[in-house]
């Protein structure tokens, strides 16, 4: 067996061309991504995940020192941006209301889809 594995099949120029190697299939960094939650397509800008005030909002939501679960509202507004109203409209029931169970299921699925779309965030 040859010790020089790079030249085993001859000295071809294509051996050193990056285009011939498998490329990472992850989405381009820094570009908005679309996640689908409960059949609703939402566009999320990854820049919001790198916003210090957003991180503070996430901390407030997780720490919840005052037992104020309503912190989720400004958090979602910032996260979803223009898609926030769209999500609410799609989640409304026949009576025009969004019940807590529906919103809870939406949030669980949203966070699951975000972990797939933004694996290192």
State the pTM of this model.
0.61
77 Cβ contact partners less than 8 Å away, ≥ 6 residues apart = 84
CB-CB contact of 110 with 57 (8 Å): no
pLDDT in tens, the chain (121 residues): 555 555 455 554 444 545 555 555 555 567 888 999 999 999 888 888 888 888 888 887 777 766 667 778 888 999 999 999 999 999 999 999 998 899 889 999 999 998 888 887 6
């Amino acid at each position: 067996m040859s010790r020089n594995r790079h030249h085993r099949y001859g000295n071809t120029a294509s051996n050193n061309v990056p285009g011939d190697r498998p490329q990472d299939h992850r989405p381009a960094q820094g570009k908005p991504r679309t996640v689908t939650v409960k059949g609703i397509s939402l566009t999320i800008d990854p820049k919001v995940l790198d916003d210090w005030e957003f991180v503070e909002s996430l901390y407030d939501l997780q720490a919840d020192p005052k037992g104020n679960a309503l912190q989720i509202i400004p958090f979602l507004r910032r996260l979803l941006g223009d898609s926030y109203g769209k999500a609410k409209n799609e989640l409304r029931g026949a009576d025009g209301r969004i019940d807590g169970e529906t919103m809870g299921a939406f949030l669980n699925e949203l966070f699951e889809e975000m972990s797939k779309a933004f694996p290192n965030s």
